[in-house]
Structure formats: C-alpha cells, structure tokens
Amino acid sequence: QFAQSLRGKRVVVTSGPTHEPIDPVRYIANRSSGRQGHAIATAAANAGAEVTLVSGPVTIDDPAGVRTIHIETAQEMLRAVKAALPADIFIAAAAVADWRVTTKNDNKIKKGDTAPVLQLAENPDILATIAGLSDGRPALVVGFAAETQDVTENALKKLAKKKCDVIVANDVGAGTDVMGGLENTVHIVTEAGVETWPKMEKSAVASRLVGLLSDMLERRQ
C-alpha cells in the first residue's frame, strides 16, 4: 500500500543549484548536483503523487512521471514554485544561491586594468516564503540544512526560523562527499525531536522521507 501512499496529493520539489548571472557568460553557482531533490521527486511520483519539480541547471535527467520546470535564478525559482501551488507538500531541496549580482552587465565584462567589483543582494528565501504563506501554505513544508558544524543544533534553529514542519539536515563538511555524491547521512528534525538515519543512497533517503511525509500528512488530516 506504500506504493500509493500519496495518491491524489500534490507535491512541489525544488532541486539543484541556482545560477546567478554576472554577465552573459559568467555566473555564481554552487556544487549541488540535484541528485537528492530529483530522487525525492521520483519517490513522490512512485507513491502516486502529482509532482512538480522546479530544477536549477543540472546535468542529470528529468525524472520520469514528473512535471519538471527548468529555471536558472533564485527569483525564477520562487516564481515557478508559486505558480505550481497549491500543493499538499513542498520540499525545498535546492541549494539556492544566497546572493545575486545587482551590478547588471548586459555585455561580457572585459579584462582591464582593474578587477571588477560585484555588488550582491540577498536572494528571496523560497522555503521561508512558502512556509510563511498565510493563504495556501502547503500542509507540510520541508527544508534541507547543509551544515558543516553543529548540524542538528543549527537544523533546530532553522526549523523554527523558517517555520518548516521538517528539516532534513546533513553534514556536508570536508570528506563527507555528500555534495554531488550518491550517498547521504541525514538527521530528520521535527518539533518532536531529532532522528538520525543510517548512511544510505539518496534514492533510499528519498523513499524513506516520502514514507515519513505521507504518515505525517495522514495524521494531520
């Protein structure tokens, strides 16, 4: 019965990095591969949900059975997520760039005597925006926390600050090989406490997470 535990439910997932343009050929980005987010979209679709995946630029394939929307910047990601609502579950697995470049360059910046200075502005927090919606907030809002120290402590703070129902915290510190890797060790942080799952493949994390979320959703309805 697990296979159809999300039948009739709508799920929106963000995945991958965002690219923030500096000029037409250069951008700011990060090392997210999109593997964990895409695996979650796949697992939710396998559980019978109607899934929209909003993905930044990645090299992996669009998941089968999922409506995938491709965006580049954080601002585009927020717009696409809002357009994909309403949803029962929102899962923010993307590694959104915290800043965008505000010094707009329509042409490629030329090498010159002095190095260019980039001015940055903070990007919208997509997770906090969706979790804070007074109208049409998804029943379950799930965030990720990629930390290199005090993993669960920081995740608990993030849970409260961003008003999420679940934070999936992982240690991405040097040597963990999580960013871009195939495996993940996560801590599931909810109001009820912290549960550490053993190291497993991202696809296994995804199906176990989808199982947990369908249980939570059922208990709330």
- Rule CB under 6 A: say whether 101 interacts with ligand C5P: no
Sole binder of ligand C5P in the list 17, 34, 138, 143 (CB under 6 A): 143
The first and second tokens of residue 81, run together, are: 């997520």
Question: Of the listed 30, 105, 107, 154, which one is catalytic?
Answer: 30
Is 30 marked active-site? Answer: yes
* Angle, vertex CA 9, rays to CA 3 and CA 15, nearest 5: 85
Sole binder of ligand C5P in the list 94, 131, 159, 213 (CB under 6 A): 94
- Rule CB under 6 A: say whether 209 interacts with ligand C5P: no
The first and second tokens of residue 217, run together, are: 């959703």
Query: Are the beta carbons of 100 and 75 closer than 8 angstroms?
Result: yes
- Rule CB under 6 A: say whether 144 interacts with ligand C5P: yes
Cβ proximity to ligand C5P, 84 vs 96, nearer residue: 96
- Rule CB under 6 A: say whether 88 interacts with ligand C5P: no
DSSP of 57-115: S-SSPPPTTSEEEE--SHHHHHHHHHHH---SEEEE--B--SEEE-S--SSPPPP-SS-
Report the catalytic residues: 30
Q: Which residues bind ligand C5P (CB under 6 A)?
A: 14, 74, 92, 94, 96, 123, 125-127, 143-145, 158
